[in-house]
Amino acid sequence: MDRLNSRYKKQVEEISFQYTKKVLGGKIGIVFYDMTTIYFESSQPDELKQTGFSKDGKYQHPQIFLGLLVGKEGYPIGYDIFEGSIYEGHTLIPILEKFERRFSLNKPIVVADAGLLSAKNIESLKINRYTFILGARIKNENNIIKKQIRELNLQDGQIAKIEKPDNTVLFISFSDKRAKKDLSNRERGLKRLEKSLNAGRLTKSNINNRGYNKYLKMQGELKINIDYEKFRNDSTWDGLKGYLTNTKLSGKEVIENYNNLWKIEKAFRISKTDLKIRPIYHRLKERIEAHICISFVSYLLYKELEKTLKENDTGISINKAIKAINKMYEIQVGNKRILLRNNETQQNIIDLINSKF
């Protein structure tokens, strides 16, 4: 296991890339990139395992970052492992350059969420002639653009286009459903602030722009209060979402492509639950890398099984298939391996696999 990653990772990624390219009709025109954290039960950090911002809420545990690159429908292309304290925005360009060099990838459209939106990343994407669709942090735009956004007065489902001086386009969409969710979240955050304030738990150190602390202000030298006017003014942002791009796609196409990011989020969810990628109990770097490599192969097999079940109209969902497979048992008698009696679903899966592979 110690040498699994060093010997086979490149081969695994080569197989995965060629598989995804074939499934997608011989061309990978758009890629989706995202990161997640994988935590360890051990409490000792090292060169790879470090404490940092945790997407699992395990802030006291050492962790690593896993960057995953997939094509349409979540078909895997490749992955990389990064130390647990790295800023995720620093990982996008290296992983794109690596796969472009290895597979002669012809500048696909890159789709990523707002966590990877930094001026340096955008500039690097432009310099390397990538087209991109990124989630935009519209509240971080300059005052002129923020004023334009707040004056749009969009209705449910409408999309507005704002052209920026750097030759990128900012699309803004509005959703009634999102507006209700945003309002609910703000009201919940406000109630927590009021509860903490009434309990006397807030100090000057709480006055910052982290989360809903932005609604706190000093009243005089000693008293902390809530800025209700700022809370009410923030309602103009409810329901709005931004998308930054340098493509020639329409607003509808940009949003449709961006919304496919949920497929990579699903890939992480599958890896963490069905494939049990976390937590990691290994200590040595080589075994950690091997663990991730095995999990990546498992996800590739998961996608192939999912596709095969669907293409053959089996009526068996991937989740049902996994549950059925987990209850299949084999015994060894002498030199023979005997599969114990299966139910109808299990037998259908075996017959399908035998006919296809």
In a shared domain, residues 134 and 250: yes
Domain that holds residue 60: 4-168+241-308
The domain tally of the chain equals 3
357 vs 330, residue with greater confidence: 330
- List, for residues 141-177, the tens digit of each pLDDT value: 999 999 999 999 999 999 999 999 999 999 999 999 9
Contact 76, 12 (CB under 8 A): no
In a shared domain, residues 44 and 79: yes
In a shared domain, residues 246 and 226: no
Distances (CA, A) of 96 to 32, 113, 124, 200, 238: 11, 15, 11, 49, 34
In a shared domain, residues 63 and 137: yes
Last residue of a domain, one of 207, 237, 267: 237
173 in any annotated domain: no
Cα 235 to Cα 77: distance, rounded to the nearest angstrom: 40
In a shared domain, residues 320 and 192: no
Contact 107, 129 (CB under 8 A): yes
In a shared domain, residues 51 and 197: no
pLDDT surpassing 90 at residue 234: yes
Q: In whole angstroms, how large is the CA radius of gyration of the chain?
A: 24
Beta bridge partners of 349: none
Cα 198 to Cα 12: distance, rounded to the nearest angstrom: 57
The DSSP-derived string for 83-112 is ETTS-GGGSHHHHHHHHHHHH----PEEEE
In a shared domain, residues 141 and 184: no
In a shared domain, residues 34 and 145: yes
In a shared domain, residues 102 and 245: yes
Last residue of a domain, one of 191, 216, 237: 237
- List, for residues 257-304, the tens digit of each pLDDT value: 999 888 777 777 766 565 566 566 666 677 788 888 888 888 899 999
In a shared domain, residues 189 and 336: no
In a shared domain, residues 118 and 228: no
Last residue of a domain, one of 212, 237, 262: 237
pTM over cut 0.85: no
- Mean pLDDT for all residues in the chain: 85
In a shared domain, residues 151 and 47: yes
